[in-house]
Chain A
Amino acid sequence: MLPLIQKEVVDRRKWISQAEIVDIFAISQSVPGVIAINASLFIGNKAAGVPGAVAAALGMILPAFISIILILLALINLKNNIYVEKVLGGIRAASAGLILLAAIKLGKGILNRKNILGWFIAFLSFVIIALMNVNAAWAVIGGGVIGYGTYLLKWRAK
Chain B
Amino acid sequence: MIVSYLKLFYIFFRIGLFSFGGGYSMLPMIYQDIQTFGLMSPHEFSNVVALSQMTPGPIAVNAATYVGFQSAGFWGAVYATIGVALPSFLIILIIAAFLNRFKSSPTIQAVLAGIRPATVGMIATAVLFFGKTSIFHEGFFSLSMVRNPLHFVSIPGMIIFGVTLIGATLGKIGPIPLTILGGILGALIL
Contacts and interface: CB of A to CB of B under 8 A. Distances in A.
Contact of B182 (A34, A90, A144): A90
A61 B118 CA distance: 27
Interface string A62-101: 0111011101100000000001001111111111111111
A31 B95 contact: yes
B92 A93 contact: no
A106 B119 contact: yes
Interface centre among A61, A110, A127 (most CB of B within 10 A): A61
Nearest to A44: B92
User: SS class of chain B's interface: helix, strand, loop or mixed?
Assistant: helix
B154 to A, nearest CB: 8
B90 to A, nearest CB: 9
B150 interface: no
B50 A88 contact: yes
B85 A125 contact: no
Given A34-B58, A89-B186, A94 B116 contact: no
Contact of A95 (B106, B128, B134): B134
A27 B158 CA distance: 38
A35 B182 contact: no
Contacts of B124: 103, 107, 122, 126, 130
Contacts of B84: 34
Given A97-B161, A136-B18, 14 more contacts: A27-B95, A64-B57, A65-B61, A68-B55, A91-B47, A93-B157, A96-B134, A99-B130, A102-B23, A129-B125, A136-B29, A136-B125, A144-B114, A148-B107
Interchain residue pairs A-B with the least CB separation, the first 6: A90-B186, A147-B114, A64-B57, A94-B182, A125-B121, A143-B118
Interface of B: 14, 16-29, 32, 46-51, 53, 55-58, 60-62, 65-66, 69-70, 74, 77, 81, 84-85, 87-89, 91-93, 95-96, 99, 102-103, 106-107, 110-131, 133-135, 154, 156-158, 160-165, 168-169, 175, 178-179, 181-187, 189-190
